[in-house]
Amino acid sequence: MKLLIVVDMQKDFVDGSLGTKEAEAIVDGVAKEIAKKKYDKVYATYDTHQANYLNTNEGKHLPVVHCVEETDGWQLNEKVAKALAKREDVVYLRKPTFGSEELVKCVREDAAKETIESITLIGLCTDICVISNALLLKAAFYETEINVIKDLCAGVTPESHEAALTTMKMCQIDIL
């Protein structure tokens, strides 16, 4: 089984309160990757915060309100949402922080039924949520091929994107 993990391709990260031109630049490629038949299952994560975000630990470190549940900025980018909607094998997960324990749990359930050949991650932000989930998955599935497609990810800055890719490569995550 080959899995694709689409991390936080939400409006606030693409062209909203925390959007960047680099994030906008990967949207079409992410949609094309989602459409590929080579993946047996797709997981799409939603960074999900509540109205009290600024009072949370994350909010104190990053005081920019974003991805508040059910707001427009919390929704997936339209092109990405359309690509996901065309598949029948998508699991949507809300995550309250950078890495998703629920994602690992779901992949464990998949692995109990069928051998996981590879797990590929794409999305936003390389240096926060992509790396967090890649490392969680690597820790849980250390004998499984874990990939990150570098051109289908974007970081907070181009420099932090590259630093995250280097860190993941050092942790034996394949950077494609």
For residue 150, the surrounding DSSP H or E stretch is: strand 145-154
Non-local CB neighbours of 116 within 8 Å, separated by 6+ positions: 1, 2, 3, 107, 110, 141, 144
pLDDT digits 0-9 by tens, 41-87:
999 999 999 999 999 999 999 999 999 999 999 999 999 999 999 99
* Cis ω for the linkage preceding 129 (within 30 of 0): no
pLDDT band per the 50, 70, 90 thresholds, residue 38: very high
- The domain in which residue 145 lies consists of 2-175
- Prediction pTM value: 0.97
**Longest CA span, the chain:** 42
Give me the mean pLDDT over the 143-164 stretch.
98
Whose CA is closest to 153, among 141, 165, 143, 144? 165
Structural domains counted in the chain: 1
* Cα separation, 45 vs 42, whole angstroms: 10
**Residues 33 and 22: beta-carbon distance below 8 Å:** no
pLDDT digits 0-9 by tens, 75-105:
999 999 999 999 999 999 999 999 999 999 9
Q: For residue 12, what is the domain's CATH number?
A: 3.40.50.850
pLDDT band per the 50, 70, 90 thresholds, residue 9: very high
